[in-house]
Amino acid sequence: MSKTVRSIFIILIVFSIYHTVRDALQIAGVHNIIADLANHKSNWCREIYPVCDYYLFPWEFFVLIGSILVLKRNDVGLLGKLILYSLIVFPIILILNIVLT
């Protein structure tokens, strides 16, 4: 695995940990710079509010655990490709959701 690819997965681990902690702090109602940095709700979130706070946790855990496994195996493989593809598909889905609502 090249140093660039290794760096990408390390950055994904750090981002995933940050995002999971931030979401957990928001759900707990803790107000600080980490939790309040991106505290906004989209239109669809207002309609299903109780679920809205938790909808990113599965993806965050998938990226976190998957990236750790990719680094441990020292091979991108199918798991690494799925993680990288999800980084492309997930924002597209969010943008389409914002545009269509």
Tens digits of residue pLDDT in 29-81: 777 776 666 655 555 565 556 666 677 788 899 999 999 999 999 999 999 99
> Tell me, what's the pLDDT at 101?
60
Looking at residue 32, the DSSP 8-state letter turns out to be S
Sorted by where each begins, the domain ranges of the chain are: 3-100
CA atoms of 92 and 68, how far apart (whole Å): 25
Contact 14, 60 (CB under 8 A): no
Of residues 101 and 73, more confidence is placed in: 73
